[in-house]
Structures are given as structure tokens and as C-alpha cells.
A = this chain, B = another copy of it.
Amino acid sequence: MARELHLNLFIHARGHHEAAWRHPAASPLALTDIAYYRDVAQRAEAGLFDSIFLADQLALAEDLDHAARNWLEPITALAALAGATSRIGLIATASTTYTEPYNLARQFASLDHISGGRVGWNIVTSWMATAARNFGGAPPLTHAERYDRGEEFMQVVTGLWDSWAADAVLDDRAGGHYASPRRVRSIDHAGAHYRVAGPLNLPRGPQGRPVFVQAGSSDTGRRFAARHAEAVFTAHMEKSTAQEFYADLKVLAAAEGRAADQILILPGLSPVIGGTEAEAQRIWRELNALTDPEVGRIRLSNRFGGFDFSHLPLDRPLTVEDFPDPSEVQAARSRTEVIIGLVRREQPTLRALLQSLAGARGHFTMAGTPEQIADLIEDWFSTGAADGFNIMPPILPAMLDAFTAEVIPLLQRRGRFRRAYAGKTLREHYGLTLPPSRYEG
């Protein structure tokens, strides 16, 4: 079978551009209104996307005056969307650092039942110091500590998801046997960070366990992804770094004994789509004209663990000396490295850097025609940079609609994208195998 292209829709605010919430083409609905998310999810399903995805942070962003940054909690929102959709995958972010593993395993298993096998889990370790202050107030864990706990967390939750054999529920009404106790087992996990007896109090879901999604970019993050991730969201501002990342992760996964097609690499792509290149550029300028450099400065500071950029002038070219060493700040390594790489290559002014980040926070942004976007997707897909894309429309729903109406038909005509859903579960959409329960047989 020909290799298939995969598309995830990343739903963020009223679009991924920082100023999208103010743009006239953005949704009129409130960001706390489930009708907004339902509308976007249904549009994505009509476009045959593999999945939708909600990111998360466990603290309020500081720029709430000028930026629309709040959203519904992902697990509850996706549970609500399960009933409003029938095929599209539903990927929720949840933290290994600030959630009890039994609670997380249970809610995702429940979501997998509720959605008929469409759930994915974006595994995050929660680096933000502001999140740590909402969960006990101890200083945030170091990068290494977070991943160390994360590894053990994966053992626990995977054990819980495997604690019921797929055939454990008998529901034998005549004979009076509801479930077979021999097909349900404790896990009795006792490790450095967690003690969890199990079994889970919910039968195995249709997918066995959620599809594992991850976005690590540091060496530790990549090794974690190579071991666990079945889809990887990643940020690149040029094809060459995407190719390097793609090759590296497939090699790391092979070293873990995993097949290359069982770990999909999905770089972020934020397409500003116009009928002509000039129209696309016009929309892009409209969005940038709505940004506020002070919002950008606060966000940049947050990305670098609170580092102070307030003294930097807006219009002087930057150098890497203007930034802290990424290994010395609490931050999402994937993003800080992209930014420092850009500064090293292009020496942008602070104003230009902030506008570039306003597009999609360090992900690849492209203003162009549907043909140009489709060409880029095909090119990255066929030259070892991507197995598909994490589509981040700069304005929702307008740029999602342009993508499904104009770009997806081109990809279909070129034989790159499905014309109908072939499967019912997210595993089936992504071409992933069903994991066997370790307690079976």
C-alpha cells in the first residue's frame, strides 16, 4: 500500500496567529463555548483530517489583557466533542508531572470507550514554573527529573491499560458471570515515584490504550518519543532541521526495536492561504498589524523561563548573546532551540522575531496559494521531512476552511490523501497496530 499522508488539526484560540482572535474572519463565538469547538471539529471531520488536538498549560498565561489564551480543559472538551463527531481522532494533552496516573489512565480509557476508539494522549511533562506553583508550590522539577518521572508514569499507566484482557467482560446474563477475574490483574507497581496496585476499574478500551503523541525535542525528549510516541508533533522553521529531526527519530525508534511506520513525524504547518500569493500576503499583513509587540515580549520571556527581554530595543538586530543558554532555563526545549537557531541564522530585529513568532510560535508558517501549500506538503512528505502535518490554521475557522476546500482536494487528486475514512479508530487512521495486553495469552 502506498504511504499515506496524515493530517492533524491543532485547535488553538481563534487561530494560531497571536492576533487571530481580533480578525474579522475569526469565529464570533466565545472561547468558553463548546459550540465553537464543535463547529471547528465538524469542519475538520468533513475535511477528513485524521485527528484534532487540544494543547494545554496548567497555569494562566500572563498576557490575558491583550491575548485570547484561555480554553476549555482538553479531556472534558474532547469528551463533549466525541458525541458531535463520529470518525475523527481526538487528542488531549495531559501532564505526567501533575496528574495522578490512576486518574489519567481512567479518564483516557473512559474517553476511548466514549469515542469508540478515537482518543490520543499528548504526553507532556509540564515545564512551566507557574504550573508548579499551582501544584504544591515546590520548585519545578528539572528537565531530567521530569522525564525520569515521566518514564515511570508510562510504566504505570500502560500497566493499568493492560490490566484488563480485551475479552475479560463476559456479560453473561443467563449464567450470572459479568467478568472473568482471571482476565483482570493487579499491576502492583512500586517504583521510585509511584505506588499503584491496580487493576484499573474500567474494562480495556477499543484501542487498548490511547495513541501516544509527544513533542519532545531535547535529547531526553527524543529518546522518550522514540520509546513511546506513535505520533510526534514537532516545530521547524525550515525543511533541513525537519529532515534532521525526522531521520534522527526514526533511527532512535529503530534502536528501540520499533518499525518506522509506527512513529509518525508531524511537523507544525501554519498556512496563510490566498487565491493569489498577493492575497495571502495581504491576510498575513492584516494579522501582523493587529499584533502588539509588548504581548510578544511577554511571550518570549515566558518561553525562556522568565528571562527579561524588556531592555532590548525593537529595531536592532539580535545575536545569540541576547538570549540565555537554553540548558539553563526551565522551558520547552523544542521552542527555545528553534528561536536561537533562527537568531543565529538571520539576526532579525526583535520586532521581526516577534512577528515571526506571532504566526505560530516557532512552527513553520507559509503564506501562499493552495498549490504552493500542497507543493510544500508533498515535498516535505516525499523527502524525509514529514509523515504528515500538524495543521495550525492562523485564523479559525477561515483558514481551516480554505485548507479543506482548496488544499485537501489537490492532495487527493495527487493521490496523497484519503477520499473517505477507511477506518473507525484513530489507530486505524494513523495506520498503527493495536497493542496487545501484556496480560493476555
Question: What are the residues of chain B within 8 A of A178 when measuring CB–CB?
Answer: 21, 64-69
The reply to whether B201 and A137 contact each other, CB–CB distance below 8 Å, is no
CB within 8 A of A169: which of B30, B73, B103, B205? Answer: B30
Question: What are the residues of chain B within 8 A of A194 when measuring CB–CB?
Answer: 136
Given A33-B113, A201-B57, A203-B32, A102 and B135 contact (CB-CB distance below 8 Å): yes
Task: State the Cβ distance, A346 to closest chain B Cβ, in Å.
Answer: 28
The reply to whether B292 and A176 contact each other, CB–CB distance below 8 Å, is yes
Stretch at the interface among A74-82, A279-287, A395-403: A74-82
Q: Would you list which residues of chain A between 217 and 247 have a CB under 8 Å from chain B?
A: none
Given A73-B107, A102-B58, A110-B72, A135 and B196 contact (CB-CB distance below 8 Å): yes
The reply to whether B110 and A73 contact each other, CB–CB distance below 8 Å, is yes
A84 adjacent to chain B (CB < 8 Å): yes
Q: Is the interface of A mostly helix, strand, loop or mixed?
A: loop
A173 adjacent to chain B (CB < 8 Å): yes
The reply to whether A202 and B70 contact each other, CB–CB distance below 8 Å, is yes
A198 adjacent to chain B (CB < 8 Å): yes
A290 adjacent to chain B (CB < 8 Å): yes
The reply to whether A110 and B76 contact each other, CB–CB distance below 8 Å, is yes
Stretch at the interface among A179-187, A303-311, A373-381: A179-187
The reply to whether A72 and B114 contact each other, CB–CB distance below 8 Å, is yes
- Residue in A32, A33, A130, A133 with the greatest tally of chain B CB atoms within 10 Å: A32
The reply to whether A290 and B176 contact each other, CB–CB distance below 8 Å, is yes
A244–B134 alpha-carbon span in the complex (Å) = 42
Residues of A within 8 A of B (CB): 21-22, 30, 32-34, 38, 57-61, 64-73, 75-77, 79-80, 82-84, 98-100, 102-103, 106-107, 109-111, 113-114, 130, 133-137, 169, 171, 173-174, 176-181, 184, 190, 194-203, 205, 290, 292
